[in-house]
Amino acid sequence: MDIVSYVEFLVQSICQDAELVKVSSYESEEDGLILDVLIPESSMGAVIGVGGRNAKAIRTMVAAYAYLHKLGKVKVNMEAF
């Protein structure tokens, strides 16, 4: 499982409209790997969580995955549509 599929799995596990979640990735010289996660507006509250706890947990899990697979620095951007 690559990191894009892993992030998709994590976010889809929380969302009500899981099939609408889209994850894309690209490389940046200064930030390393950047993952853009598009989430339906109706599920954004669940993904962010109270005080941003779910979003922080997702970012922690992604950082751990990147560390284990020697991917370097990874940044996760979450946006609603």
Residue range 49-64, pLDDT digits in tens: 999 999 999 999 999 9
**Residue 10 token pair:** 């994590």
Binning pLDDT at 50, 70 and 90, where does residue 31 land? confident
Contact 81, 38 (CB under 8 A): yes
The predicted model gives 28-52 an average pLDDT of 93
Architecture of domain 3-80: 2-Layer Sandwich (3.30)
Beta-carbon contacts of residue 51 (< 8 Å; ≥ 6 apart): none
Say what the pTM is. Answer: 0.89
Task: Give 74: exposed, middle or buried? Use CB within 10 Å, 0-12, 13-18, 19+.
Answer: buried
pLDDT of residue 62: 97
pLDDT of residue 17: 87
**Strands, E, within the chain: which ranges?**
22-28, 32-39, 74-80
